[in-house]
Amino acid sequence: MTSLVEEINRLEARHGCPQQHFTSRVRWFSHLCRDWLFEVPLDLLADCVHDELVLQWASLLFDDSSTGGALAWLPPEDAGAHTGRLVYPGGQAMNQLYFQDVVVGEVPRTRGSPAQFELNGRIRQVAAARVDREGFVGVRSDYHCGVWKVPGRTGAAPTPLQVIRTNVPASCLTVSPHLPGELAVCTQSGAVYLWSVETGLQQLRQDPQTMFFRDHSPWRWSEFTAHPRVLSCADRTGLQCLDARAPGRCHLDFFKVGEEAGCQQGERVVLPMYLGRAHPSQHLVATQFAVYVMDERLPLVPVLKWAHMMKDPPLFAHVVPGGPGRSHKVLLGASRTQELLLLQYTGGSESACQLAGPPQKLHSISGCLQHLPTQLPHRHWLLQQRLGAPAAGLAAVPHARGQRESLLVFQLSEAGDVFYQTLTHEAAQPRAPDGEDKDEAASSTSPMLEAPFGSTPGSPPGSGGEEEEEIFYLSNLEVIVNEEEEEEEEGTPAASEETQHPEEPCASPHPLPAVPSPAAAVRYRRWLKALFRDWRELPRHTGVRGPPTISQKRLFTRKDLGPPAGTSDLHVRARQQLRHAMREQGRIRRWDLGPDPQPLPQPVEPAAWPDALSARLTAAWAGDLSHWWEERLGLNMAQRQRALRERRRRQKRARGHRSLSASFTSSVTYQSELSELSDGAPAAAPAPAPPLSPGHPEALPQVFTEAWGGSLAGGSAPGGSTPRRPPPSPPPAEPLLSSQTLRSRGIPKERRKMLRDYLAVCAEGPPEPLPEPPGSQPPSQGGQLCIPSSQSQLLGSQPRRKRPRMGF
Amino acid sequence: MDSLMERAAPCSAAQAGSALLPALHLPLLPPHLYRPATSHEHKLNFRKSKEACLTYIQDAMLQKQWKRAAEFLTFYIESLEKDFSTEYMGPSEMIWRIGTEILCHHSYSSMKDFNSFIEQMKTLGVKRYLKVCLEHAFHLLCNGQTDEAYQNLSLAESWRFGEQTTAQDKELKLIQAYRGLLDYYSWSKQKNVLLEYDKEGFEDLSVEQEMHSSFRKAAVNLKEIIQIPGVWDVFVKCYVDLLEFYGDHDEARQVLSEYAYNSKFPANPNAHVYFYQFLKRHGEPKKSLISVLKILHDIVPSHELMIDFNTMLQKSKKRKKRRLGLEVIFAALDYAGWKENVKAWSCLARQVKQIIISEKHLDWIKQEWNSRKGWWPAFHFSRYLAKRNWQENESLAYEKALVAGILLGKDCKYFKYVSHQGCKDQKKRLRTLKKFVNKHSPVYLRISGLSDSSVQT
């Protein structure tokens, strides 16, 4: 809709510009709407359009539909095992759900091929929680929410349990970390449900209004709390806790945007999250400016606040609980800008909450680009697009092997790629030299890419690596701690993480190095190869859109398409050239027109083709199209015009005054006007237009000459193809469409504007097809100008076609 | 010079245009290459580069490149030149915050640099003079320079700057309070010195006097901040400690009850805890302790003190209180944080056992169980949990098995698993448990309401 309006605006701006073409969209729109559009009250329509535009604009500015993220990690059943499961969407429409076993290690490896489900909607959010032994995965798309059960044993297939459908788009789905098969669902109508797989839905709240003050956003969120029967319920203005046992009465204000939390003006809740794995009563509340850690026991007053200064509001968050005496790590991710921040904090029970060390920025997906080998420009562009796609999810997995601890951070992009980076743990040191030494910075990080999952040995053919979206690879922006530092670390075991000192720089992504390690480079190359292979295999039409073509079947009979009677040398050659050009998708320039006309080897016999099309093409070939055009249309039209006017006069006499509501008759008038106009009606025609003189209707042919002339050198007149260049006359449509004229024709006032617009559009209708080489008549006429078949005859045939309906 | 060029360029273009007809459009340089920026553009560019600079600084800081950040910050200081911003955080505040952060982490920075930077910041922004002072004092404290911090705070306290002083009233109160806290700190040090002396039989009047003066200073400041609604746990604790030392129990009690019960203060469970601890220290009767804990139970049913509360109530002779005790322990076990708390489970097991043996008040259990029977089995008594509890903590498994056996009958998964494992290991304790549950198995029917329905049908 927006682009349509833009186009119409552009048309208006170019009003009178000879070099205009109609976009097909406008034409389609007029086709769709011309029968009813004038029946709709304009105010109502304008309101609706305005509302829709506001919505669209808001979603362009900030799209909250992916809040929560569509990447989830199901940890292994026992902490010792290394195989967990990554759940993420993929496919062209992000409607495939994948469950992929991943072996966690220094470099994560996929195991086997992913279990795959096809859903009928774009997956917005994937939430997962492990309760006892089983994992539960909630999947939210706009109008459907589903839940899957994933058995604890590795390799066991996930089973879908239940699906619910909502009338209003759902905005939130969270899985209970306490009870198996329980989820919380929110819809944009302000309803909050507790969804149990066994007992069904229980509505906890239904309130389209926001909680603390008025905010227009329909976004709602709900999370579980320390009490399995109490849910937190959020909108943009704050959070409340609801008791599912008595949802009507029991609620507690938990977080309010305002004074108590020291909020800024305009601050709104963007993402609440239950930090139950870190501390049973802590919650994270993220706004576009800051993150707050809240404690259920001390509502309204945040126990920790930090202004994150992210460019885009954080839509994804993940918490990695630290053991006793260790800091909890919170990862925040933004969608559009792919920002990723790591925040560490300690405390909660015995001590007050406090940040541990400065927050850190992790690598984003688009940062890989500089480490990829140099590409051809179009490939580089493709890569840039691919890597720059907005982020869609976030997950983190702690991993420990012996002394070495690390944190794997997975990031999902909207293109369906999953990337990872590894952060290694570093015990806190007093005044650690934080990457100040240059040599350290140069050798520290090595971004790596894992091979596409699809090409892992053992994956069945056909499941992986066929579609572009299937490419699933991991990028490892790994931190290899400087050797010097490692020695220091070993030398000072007292400063280990078990002491009260928090592991301040737990992970230290240093600046990107100039060169990735050789192993990383190999992985990059493997991934690139797979990406480009799949890109090539894509069907053409999904790639760059070629010029639209239309079927010629209905345009021409078989006889027309057959080889003309006298197949000469020229024809053969022309055909060959045409075929050649078509194969290469190029244009047949030389045939365009005669700034340097080809010497005609043989005069064409126009008499051989008596039909109209041939006549026209012959005329065009001879450079005499304008004349032919006048001849053809002017006569016809003038006759019809006269008949019409006659009839109108009779009607007028019979009825005297026309009622306003006579839309039927008024449409008759505008049809007639259309016909007047389509032949380039003369300007300044008061009510009874004078019969068209053959000299007048040059408007249309002139369009051609000017259009062509522009492309010729220096604006000099094209050689001989136009007979005359009359002085530029005022655009013909304007006087005709003046309100006076319209009134004089009995058009109701409220329709005049519409009619004028409509006519203005028609008047600037598509120019007639350019003259073509004689041998290529049928295909080039249809194909090159991309005018749908009915449209190509719009000017001439429309009044005729309409006539029976209009009561002529 | 620039303006000359600006005029000259269009002029020559016009001449060229008029000389050659029709107009010949020579490709001219794009205007921004030869025309100086207008003041408006300049303003725009300035703002843009300011923002870009800020982004670079942020980027460097988030990647711990303090040196790079510091370099950018020196450029950013130029933004002070035109600081008309009405934004939430102006450039001068930005510089202060960023600079502090960088100096905290920069490897070459020293305390001296930090101090001089802060002094500059104090003069730069009068609007947040006190905030800067407070932050400076914190930094000094973190580096162990208590005396400097104290001096700093006293200086800040005496700062007067017309209206600005009144505008920063809140900060001033905080500064006073923190100074009070430091006074308290020196007081407690002197107190310890005196106690040492006492042991050894010395007497030092000067130290004693100093201590008393510290007390007075601390008490005045601390008392003031406590009047304002807020969360002042540290100050309240210190103030009460002071008062208690000098035997002013009434005042201490007054302060604590005000802190806990004044409705203007945010609901703060710690306030109730402090009050409870105070009352307990002074041997107050059970009744008042129970009333304090009752309120705490209403606010935070998952508080650690609920176990004390439950034991207190269980010992009570009144039926109503024992009933409350059962409620309290059930409510505490609702919370995820209590799932593996052996103490809580043994409290529950003990009380349930008592009730069953006495065969009175079975309806209490029934009532509590009614609202929980839908989700407790999955939450507490699943087979997986039985296995895990048995592996990790046998006594927890034992307590839970008892409760499960009574509430859910002897066929419940948890009880079955634990008793089976226990029999395998020949645990005596489990044999008695099994016997007990088997003996009282009809109780389960009554609790779950099955016996009633069977009677009806």
pLDDT value, residue A487: 26
Interface pTM (ipTM) of the complex?
0.84
B132 or A552: which leads in pLDDT: B132
| Surface of A (309-368) touching B: CB under 8 A | 309, 341, 358-361
Q: Does A774 touch chain B (CB under 8 A)?
A: no
Q: In the beta sheet, which residues pair with residue A129?
A: A136
Of A262-276, A332-346, A626-640, B433-447, the range with the lowest mean pLDDT is: A626-640
Partner residue opposite B379 with nearest CB, options A178, A300, A431: A178
Cβ distance B107 to A434 less than 8 Å, yes or no, reads: yes
Pairwise CA distance, residues B101 & A325, whole Å: 25
Please name the residue of chain A whose CA is at the shortest distance from the CA of residue B54. A309
Nearest to A281 among B62, B302, B375 (CB): B302
User: What single string gives the DSSP state of each residue in A580-642?
Assistant: HHHHTT---GGGS-TTSPPPPSS---GGG--SHHHHHHHHHHTT-HHHHHIIIIIHHHHHHHH
Q: Give A62's pLDDT tier (boundaries 50, 70, 90).
A: confident
In degrees, rounded to 5, the angle at the alpha carbon of residue A590 between the alpha carbons of residues A587 and A593 is 105
Instruction: Say if the Cβ atoms of B269 and A298 lie within 8 Å.
Output: yes
Decide which of A403 and A691 is more confident. Answer: A403
Instruction: State yes or no: pLDDT of A255 exceeds 80.
Output: yes
To the nearest whole Å, the CA of B322 is away from the closest chain A CA by 24
* Candidate from B105, B107, B267 with C-beta closest to A358: B105
d(CA B200, CA B186): 21
Say what the pLDDT of residue B353 is: 87
Residue A270, pLDDT score: 93
Nearest Cα to Cα of residue A342 among A330, A353, A333: A330
Q: Is A583 on the interface with B (CB under 8 A)?
A: no
Kindly state the helix (H) or strand (E) to which residue A560 belongs, with its residue range: helix A558-561
Q: Which residues of chain B have pLDDT under 50?
A: 1-20, 452-457
- Residue A435 contacts B where some CB pair is shorter than 8 Å: yes
Closest Cα of chain B to A324: distance in Å? 15
User: In angstroms, rounded to a whole number, what is the distance separating the alpha carbons of residues B308 and B310?
Assistant: 5
Report the residue from A265, A360, A434 with minimal CB separation from B62: A360
How far is the alpha carbon of A40 from chain B, nearest alpha carbon, in Å?
45
Does A359 sit within 8 Å of B336, measured CB to CB? Answer: no
Q: Do B267 and A309 touch (CB under 8 A)?
A: no
Cross-chain Cβ contact B266/A298 below 8 Å: yes
Question: CA of B237 to nearest chain A CA: how many angstroms apart?
Answer: 15
Can you give the pTM of this predicted structure? Answer: 0.68
Q: Is the dihedral of CA B122, B128, B130, B135 positive or negative?
A: negative
Residue A404 distance to chain B (closest CA, Å): 22
* A395 Cβ neighbours under 8 A, 6+ residues apart: A69, A71, A72, A73, A86, A318, A409, A410
Neighbours of A190 (CB within 10 A): 20
Q: Is the pLDDT confidence value at A650 over 50?
A: yes
Nearest to A360 among B22, B64, B107 (CB): B64
Among B269, B300, B336, the residue with its CB nearest the CB of A228 is: B336
How far does CA B336 lie from the centroid of its chain?
A: 20
pLDDT at residue A284 above 90?
yes
pLDDT of A685: 36
Nearest CA in chain B to A507: B63
Q: Give the pLDDT of residue A803.
A: 37
Put simply, the answer to whether A298 touches B231 (Cβ < 8 Å) is: yes
pLDDT of residue A91: 83
Residues of chain A contacting B270 with CB distance shorter than 8 Å: 298
pLDDT at A546 over 70: no
Chain-chain contact of A132 with B336 (C-beta, under 8 angstroms): no
Of B65, B270, B299, the CB nearest to A435: B65
CA–CA distance, A164 with A200 (Å, rounded to integer): 9
Residue A785 above 60 pLDDT? no
CA distance B159 to chain A (A): 26
A358 contact residues in B (CB cutoff 8 A): 61-62, 64, 101, 105
Residue pair B127/B164 in contact by the 8 Å Cβ criterion: yes
Q: Does the CB of A483 have a partner CB in chain B at under 8 Å?
A: no
What is the chain B residue with the closest CA to A196? Answer: B375
Residue of chain A whose Cα is closest to the Cα of B67 = A436
Return the residue of B nearest to A278 by Cα: B337
Which residue in A has a C-alpha nearest to residue B233's C-alpha?
A: A352
**pLDDT range class, residue A628, cuts 50, 70, 90:** confident
Q: Of A297, A361, A505, which is closest to B59 when you measure between CB atoms?
A: A361
Confidence at residue A568, expressed as pLDDT on a 0 to 100 scale: 72
Q: Cβ of A436 under 8 Å from any chain B Cβ? A: yes
Q: Where are the alpha helices (DSSP H) in A712-776?
A: 733-736, 739-744, 749-763
Q: With pLDDT > 90 as the criterion, what percentage of chain A qualifies?
A: 17
Residues A435, B64: C-beta atoms closer than 8 Å:
yes
HSE-CB for A637 with a 13 A CA cutoff: 31
Average pLDDT over residues A159-180: 92
Q: Nearest Cβ partner of A180 from B62, B303, B378?
A: B378
Q: Which of A133, A227, A301 sits opposite B334 (nearest CB)?
A: A227
Residue among A179, A241, A355 with most chain B CBs within 10 A, to mutate: A179
- On whether any CB of chain B is under 8 Å from the CB of A9, the answer is no
- Chain-chain contact of B299 with A177 (C-beta, under 8 angstroms): no
Cross-chain Cβ contact B379/A177 below 8 Å? no
Contacts A–B by Cβ distance under 8 A: 90
A119 by DSSP, 3-state: which? coil
CA neighbor of A194 nearest in space, from A232, A251, A240: A232
Lowest mean pLDDT across A210-219, A796-805, B318-327: A796-805
d(CA A288, CA A270): 6
With an 8 Å Cβ cutoff, are A229 and B334 in contact? yes
Residue A127 or A496, more confident = A127
**Helix (H) or strand (E) segment spanning residue A136:** strand A134-141
Q: Is the pLDDT of residue A159 over 60?
A: yes
Q: Do A132 and B382 touch (CB under 8 A)?
A: yes
Mean pLDDT of chain A: 68
Handedness of CA A234, A235, A238, A243 (dihedral sign): negative
Q: Express each pLDDT in A423-462 by its tens digit.
A: 888 765 443 333 322 222 222 222 333 323 322 222 222 2
Separation CA A717–CA B226 (nearest Å)? 92
Residue with tokens 């003259």: A771
Higher pLDDT, residue B195 or A633: B195
Chain B residues lying within 8 Å of A300, measured CB to CB: 266-267
Contact: A358, B300; criterion CB under 8 Å: no
Q: Looking at chain A, which residue has its C-alpha nearest residue B231?
A: A301
CB atoms within 10 A of CB B363: 12
Q: For residue B181, which of B121, B223, B122, B136 has the smallest C-alpha distance? A: B223
SS3 B328: helix
Are A260 and B334 in contact (CB < 8 Å)?
no
Which residues of chain A neighbour B337 with C-beta distances below 8 Å?
A: 226, 280-281
| Residue, of A555 and A40, whose pLDDT is higher | A40
Instruction: Kindly state whether A246 is in contact with chain B, defined as any CB-CB distance less than 8 angstroms.
Output: no
Q: Which of B63, B101, B378 sits opposite A511 (nearest CB)?
A: B63
pLDDT tens-digit series, residues A4-37: 777 777 766 666 655 556 567 777 777 787 787 7
User: Torsion-angle region of residue B44: left (phi > 0), alpha (psi -120 to 50) or beta?
Assistant: alpha
Number of residues written out for chain B:
457
Question: Comparing A717 with A631, which gets the higher pLDDT?
Answer: A631
Instruction: Considering only residues B318 and A748, tell me which one the structure prediction assigns the higher pLDDT.
Output: B318
